[in-house]
Chains A and B, each alone.
Chain A
């Protein structure tokens, strides 16, 4: 919608008159142009990030499988035939590498995908491992050359999946490390290179360690007999609850169902294995049950500069309900998920689309909101458990500034 009130109605008419000639159907459709094609064409715009998550968490819907296959198929064989941005980016990245790398058939994205298959590995870690592989195979002879090569690789990675925040953050973090390393005086180039690779290898451990740290830090916030509401499937949250269960805390977990990929079902399975009392809610029952909840706990896809989080769809409304009932909202997130983004509102992000299985066929005229995640502003969050410590939302920006400047 361009103009929302009567005062601009004239302008809108003028605008429509201008655009009506090339595309008559856009006049009839009330949706803005970028939205028009997305719900009807499920092949495009499916978030690779959410594909991976679905694969990792063994969440299968019929629709999902078919569409995911179609999407993967598109990525693997018919590059550029659709003229999609991802295919183009990949050609740019891979082609550039081949030209100057003299017959080196290596693609960051393939490397990244192979790392991504491992369920325990976070997206950012996979990205960093992929970049480490770039260093290993690179024939660069100087630090500058290597840096340029890495930059190209990380750019192609980032543009391959613009929806994943932790991928972007991981790439940025590693690039930062590389540029800072080049400033250091190593005796020769090879030792610097091996240092970088070593660092990248270590990063996987760091990520696992981060989860441990978060789990330890957060224990003080859960008391015996408390009821915890969780939303979505987060490895960190699972680690936190696992540690709490190991520490012989008595608590109860309410799991939202997490439509459409039913991550909540999977999560409740995991908790049931730990003998934690779990109750499953449908997503719309959050407000109904909020009065018996003591603590709301989320994971995060990304923590943004304002101190807010980007997380699975539904997080924002749960946070709103919790805020209005004065329940504390905690977020568990590793520090490599901190990203230099600053969304101003819900639509101010690159949308991550995913297909939704309604069980019944949806008429093609009906629009479906397929966005997979939302943005929770910082004022609805109480604290963030990170491996840097337990932070208030406003500290996130301070950390980011210190990290990136």
Chain B
């Protein structure tokens, strides 16, 4: 409702299409390369590599946009669009004349060029670059390399393993996440190659990596087979040599671990307490997120209850409650976690020859990693943990153990009281001023703050009508509805499918949020964005109620990079409706992918106001709050 940035571009529709593709026939990518027309284009070693590795990759279809142009087209285009040095270089490869203005590029590549001129002008110069001495290759000014050339150079010099990571990179070029991942992949591959082939190759490979990075718009050349093959190859490669290094900094799995990175997942699994089994058919675009078979691990964990030595029982219990979904909602999860940590701190005693600060931090980290295994952390929990760890780190060394423990427990209580309970009250106080007699308020899902607002406004004697919008599969709105109706509010209940019909009667939309990011993006239960957008289209103000401790300085543009996947069975099966069993027996089909997202990101343009404990602010002011909040409270 706040279109002050009216000229926003919702993300490129192409990107959105990427996740839901029709599987391309595997032959296509293989059969493509032979159609080269350009003399610059090498006879391309890639087809053979592809064929080599297609069995190792699984047969899942590619995410990539099917190549509209074949390689030669792409290459020509990129070469022509490239900056003048690169253009000159690609020409120089053909013509063997070096334009004077590109001295550096040309001279650095001169060995390659010589080789080219000596052998065949039609073959690609980079291919021959492998024969170039390493010392000369390292002087190449990487940025100027056109992607195609650099890729080939890498491919030739580092041989099979290196070429594929680079081409894998092209795969999800549209999403920055994928890019970063590809970069990591390629760097790792480069290291592996360095081990295998010595310094010469590695330098070339790292060049490849960097140059690939500088040209994210590289043509989509590779096929899925290449991609998967490369991942497998890469993970196989570094499985051996990187393990000890990784174990040194043994810590919690990174909250934003990329779950399509097989080696890391393997690592994490070794340490994991919770044995999650991975679901099989995962939607391509969301492979970086963990997706587990649900319901398998709970009995297993319950039996282990008495065996787990390092885990405090309170933490264990909370973890299980997260896992089973007994505790949900940002505030409830956060409070439960802190109560468990409080218990754990109460029972904590510093082991001999260790300091409390270090050991307790490590202990908390291990608890956190256990909780992450049960269910990915919410952003609010991340902030809370940051707060706690910061408090531990700031403990005066002179404090005795009991004093330190009681200080920490007081801090935890203070956090819960001030940042959660009190700020909810403040938000309610602010929000009721925006409810007038005769309003029709719409809310989506079940937010504890919104519920408090509605009940409080009702207590104040305001006359208003509530529309509770709900969605499958969680149907949390029914819980809210039940409590509202019991208190005597007049309510309408509908599902999100009908939101466009009901919206014309609505005067205010109140939404809860899991987090608010610093560009004003509201990260909340999936479906919130839809409701907010419909409200915006109907010129209904959207009020987002969120405590300031849930604010985060990250910026997120879509709901793909960071999200949580729920149980796909929840959407494929309708409970209690045996006659709707259309998907029975189809769930494990190769060509069926079920996507049950938990969160989505609402762009700030659709948000009129954010109600927080600092008052009512426009979404553009979130960074100010984040800054002030950090300075005043979190880091104090």
Contact = CB atoms under 8 A, between A and B. Distances in A.
Interface of A: 1-5, 7-8, 11, 32, 305-307, 340, 342, 344-345, 347-348, 377-379, 393-394, 397-398, 401-402, 404-405
B541 A397 contact: no
B505 A394 contact: no
Given A306-B618, A307-B620, A345-B541, 17 more contacts: A3-B465, A7-B505, A11-B465, A305-B615, A305-B616, A305-B617, A305-B618, A342-B617, A344-B609, A347-B436, A378-B618, A394-B618, A397-B624, A398-B624, A401-B615, A402-B624, A402-B628
Contacts of B621: 394, 397-398, 401
A379 B619 CA distance: 13
B324 interface: no
Contacts of B2: 306, 377-379
Given A8-B465, A32-B438, A379 B505 contact: no
B441 to A, nearest CB: 12
B625 interface: yes
B555 to A, nearest CB: 16
Interface of chain A, helix or strand or loop or mixed?
Answer: loop
User: Which of B490, B620, B625 counts the most chain A CB atoms within 10 A?
Assistant: B620
A347 to B, nearest CB: 8
B632 to A, nearest CB: 8
Given A306-B2, A306-B609, A348-B434, A401 B465 contact: no
Interface in B596-628: 608-609, 614-618, 620-621, 624-625, 628
B296 interface: no
Contacts of B198: none
Query: Which range contains the number of B residues in contact with the other chain?
Result: 20 to 34
B617 A397 contact: yes
9 contacts: A5-B505, A8-B440, A11-B490, A345-B541, A347-B436, A379-B4, A401-B614, A401-B621, A405-B614
B3 interface: yes
Given A348-B434, A379-B3, A342 B620 contact: no
B6 interface: yes
Contact of A401 (B1, B504, B609, B617): B617
Interface of chain B, helix or strand or loop or mixed?
Answer: mixed
B191 interface: no
Contacts of B608: 344
A401 B628 contact: yes
B53 interface: no
A394 B620 contact: yes
A3 B609 contact: no
A340 B6 contact: no
Given A2-B438, A348-B434, A401-B628, A340 B4 contact: no
Interface of B: 1-4, 6, 434, 436-438, 440, 465, 490, 502, 504-505, 508, 541, 543, 608-609, 614-618, 620-621, 624-625, 628
B434 A344 contact: yes
A394 B605 CA distance: 13
Q: Which 4 A-B pairs have the closest CB atoms?
A: A394-B620, A397-B621, A344-B541, A342-B616
Contacts of A11: 465, 490
B205 to A, nearest CB: 46
Nearest to B615: A340
Contacts of A307: 4, 618, 620
B6 A4 contact: no
Contacts of B436: 347-348
B505 A401 contact: no
Contacts of A377: 2, 4
Nearest to B614: A405
A108 to B, nearest CB: 25
A344 B465 CA distance: 18
A3 B440 contact: yes
B381 to A, nearest CB: 25
Contacts of A394: 4, 618, 620-621
A247 to B, nearest CB: 32
A397 B618 contact: yes
A338 to B, nearest CB: 13
Nearest to B439: A2
Contacts of A306: 2, 609, 618
A383 B504 CA distance: 33
A405 B505 CA distance: 37
A401 B617 CA distance: 9
Contacts of B465: 2-3, 8, 11
A221 to B, nearest CB: 20
Contacts of B438: 1-2, 32
A267 B60 CA distance: 74
B547 to A, nearest CB: 15
A379 B6 contact: yes
Contacts of A404: 615
Contacts of A1: 438
Contacts of A348: 434, 436
A5 B3 CA distance: 26
A397 B625 CA distance: 10
User: Which of A344, A347, A379 counts the most chain B CB atoms within 10 A?
Assistant: A344
Nearest to B617: A397
B313 to A, nearest CB: 41
Contacts of A378: 2, 4, 618
User: Which of A2, A5, A378, A393 counts the most chain B CB atoms within 10 A?
Assistant: A2
A5 B624 contact: no
Contacts of A342: 609, 616-618
A405 B426 CA distance: 14
A142 to B, nearest CB: 28
A52 to B, nearest CB: 26
Contacts of A8: 440, 465, 505
B588 to A, nearest CB: 43
Nearest to B490: A11
Contacts of A397: 617-618, 620-621, 624
B615 to A, nearest CB: 6
Nearest to A381: B4
A4 B615 contact: no
A133 B436 CA distance: 37
User: Which of B434, B621, B628 counts the most chain A CB atoms within 10 A?
Assistant: B621
A340 B609 CA distance: 13
A13 to B, nearest CB: 14
B434 A3 contact: no
Contacts of B502: 7
Contacts of B625: 401
A305 B612 CA distance: 14
B505 A4 contact: yes
B320 to A, nearest CB: 40
B183 to A, nearest CB: 34
User: Which of A11, A32, A397 counts the most chain B CB atoms within 10 A?
Assistant: A397
Contacts of A347: 436
A7 B490 CA distance: 14
A2 B438 CA distance: 5
